[in-house]
Chains A and B, each alone.
Chain A
């Protein structure tokens, strides 16, 4: 359970702009252990997707980006692999599903073919066998009557089903690690719930690690074992789920938790609002990147950039000079509210 399968150390991904490099990701370190679901959360544009795609090196290195740091998978640094070797890892050892199931499937080929394509790219099996397996996969992901669906085109499926097909493609070669980049943002809550439970089930059944990128703390709380919080291209906090929700240490994490209207919180209580501006990627402040919006900021925060380090009393890693000083927020309001409405909800559905 604790054997790491993916370790990222100080990853830096910079986009080539016409007058220099634009570091969209600068300082991401995280570890995914075998069988673990790791959540990555953060604001839009903070570099979650770039991180995910950097792992598979999906950007064009000749023109688009420059990678630095280390991504080690099973002891091999992916960033040092040749293009061919990288191809053999993609979809095979590590696979990925994207945010938008509506556009992530090629509209002109039947879905079955697209699943089979992944298998044929990596495995030596006959077309027939591949087809058989594809149907099994469709079944596994909970698509009714997979035989017929196999020959259907993406537009003939609903959003939820398409996302299942995406998952089936990702699972085609039984990867050890699945990277899911906001797999449910385009879907309705009810469908989201189905997909999330499917992922959780696959994680258990296949002992497959998942790197789950999302902006929804609710999903993190319900599905993940570990959480990585990102802000402006950096990891600012990593912690186990319980720890993070119980005692968030980074001011940004705290802000996130408090700004969210919750279904289980006291109604009408004002949300916490933080002001301040977000710096641009090409004009980053010298010190901490959160400094412009942080209410705890000190002189030091303005001048020196903090590093990701363990904090006293918890297992979390936090990128904050004041992590030790910041008062631990009491456990989320939900605890009190939960006894109210929510239990009832559960009951009513199950009844």
Chain B
């Protein structure tokens, strides 16, 4: 299995390579440069050129890229121009909030999606099913940032139950930590919930038509047991797959919500880094997110083994 994991991680190399090239091309195309941002409005051209020179920005792209990649191969992804620390350290700091947010949002989605999906599959065409249809359609149609506006208005500004924005780490106390994450997580979860609920439903329905479910019924097993032991367990693989996908998307896609709620996560860091042209950080985050994406997929694959004995990793 270790070999398998290793192989998968190795397979990541070309993807990361292509991504790094794409990022470099984009960076090359984006006008604006960090020296100018750092020196600000009204800096004179000579100073800017001097700083550019010192930052190594006046080199052509190719040497810059080669420089970067040879560093990256040794595990050195460069220094941020603005954060005063290495890219790795910066990412490490910002990964926590994003991760917390994604996990909480995912938990919320799962808690609504799975019971709803099961109920809808059990009573196909019934009330739960209609509810699921409505829920999933709305969940997919209402963008998280729109929802967040109204949530903030209601729960933070009007009722003052929860803070409007910001982030507290776990060290600041569990309640404080959760308090800051609830609204953003709730804003993020309907979409994920909708997608997962749909998948739970269709996957359960699919399995319900399998002959081994009929076998179980023919054995005289109770209906409850049929649903929870035989159907759900077999419906798990596609559910795990979308859940993994959803988690990956959450990790990568929370930028807008992080901005709205002022959460110092990876998305926000990337948005800021693009705004101030912090090239090394942009590179680092994009590759890190890609890596996370693949890692989540890998974990999903490993979970398959647990969920389905037919799957073997060799």
Q: Say yes or no for B155: interface residue by CB 8 A criterion.
A: no
Quick one: closest A residue to B212, CB to CB? A106
Given A103-B211, A166-B215; A108-B307 close (CB under 8 Å): yes
> Could you tell me which residues of chain B, from 201 to 238, have a CB within 8 Å of some CB in chain A?
210-212, 214-222, 230, 233-234
With the chains together, A87 CA to B124 CA distance in Å? 22
> Could you tell me which residues of chain A, from 151 to 176, have a CB within 8 Å of some CB in chain B?
153, 155, 166, 169, 172
CB distance B212 to A118 under 8 Å? no
Q: Say yes or no for B53: interface residue by CB 8 A criterion.
A: no
Chain B residues near A333: list those with CB within 8 A.
none
A-B contact pairs, 21 of them (CB 8 A): A63-B124, A87-B220, A89-B220, A90-B218, A91-B220, A91-B221, A92-B220, A96-B215, A96-B218, A98-B211, A99-B211, A105-B215, A108-B234, A108-B307, A108-B309, A108-B310, A118-B221, A121-B219, A121-B220, A122-B220, A153-B310
Q: Say yes or no for A56: interface residue by CB 8 A criterion.
A: yes
Quick one: closest B residue to A107, CB to CB? B310
CB distance B218 to A108 under 8 Å? no
Chain B residues near A95: list those with CB within 8 A.
218-219
CB distance from B290 to the nearest CB of A (A): 32
Quick one: closest A residue to B218, CB to CB? A96
Which among A108, A117, A118 has the greatest number of chain B C-beta atoms within 10 A? A108
Q: Say yes or no for B93: interface residue by CB 8 A criterion.
A: no
**Chain B residues engaging chain A, CB cutoff 8 angstroms:** 124-125, 210-212, 214-222, 230, 233-234, 307-310
With the chains together, A330 CA to B307 CA distance in Å? 59
CB distance B307 to A91 under 8 Å? no
CB distance B214 to A98 under 8 Å? yes
With the chains together, A88 CA to B215 CA distance in Å? 15
CB distance A90 to B217 under 8 Å? yes
Q: Say yes or no for A298: interface residue by CB 8 A criterion.
A: no
Number of A interface residues at 8 Å Cβ cutoff, please give it.
31
Chain A residues near B310: list those with CB within 8 A.
107-108, 153, 155
Chain A residues near B309: list those with CB within 8 A.
107-108, 153, 155
Given A106-B234, A108-B234; A58-B220 close (CB under 8 Å): no
Given A107-B310, A108-B307; A58-B219 close (CB under 8 Å): no
With the chains together, A90 CA to B214 CA distance in Å? 11
Quick one: closest B residue to A87, CB to CB? B220
The 6 closest A-B pairs by CB, nearest first: A91-B220, A90-B220, A91-B219, A118-B219, A106-B212, A96-B218
Chain A residues near B230: list those with CB within 8 A.
106
Quick one: closest A residue to B213, CB to CB? A106
**Chain A residues engaging chain B, CB cutoff 8 angstroms:** 53, 56, 58, 63, 87-92, 95-96, 98-100, 103-109, 117-118, 121-122, 153, 155, 166, 169, 172
Chain B residues near A107: list those with CB within 8 A.
212, 234, 308-310
Chain B residues near A103: list those with CB within 8 A.
210-212
Given A103-B210, A106-B230, A108-B308; A117-B219 close (CB under 8 Å): yes
Q: Which of B124, B212, B218, B222 contacts A58 (CB 8 A)?
A: B218
CB distance B220 to A118 under 8 Å? yes
Quick one: closest B residue to A98, CB to CB? B211
Q: A91-B219, A95-B219, A106-B216 are in contact. List 17 more A-B contacts (CB 8 A).
A: A56-B217, A56-B218, A58-B214, A58-B217, A89-B220, A90-B218, A106-B215, A107-B212, A107-B308, A107-B309, A108-B234, A108-B308, A109-B233, A118-B221, A121-B221, A153-B309, A172-B219
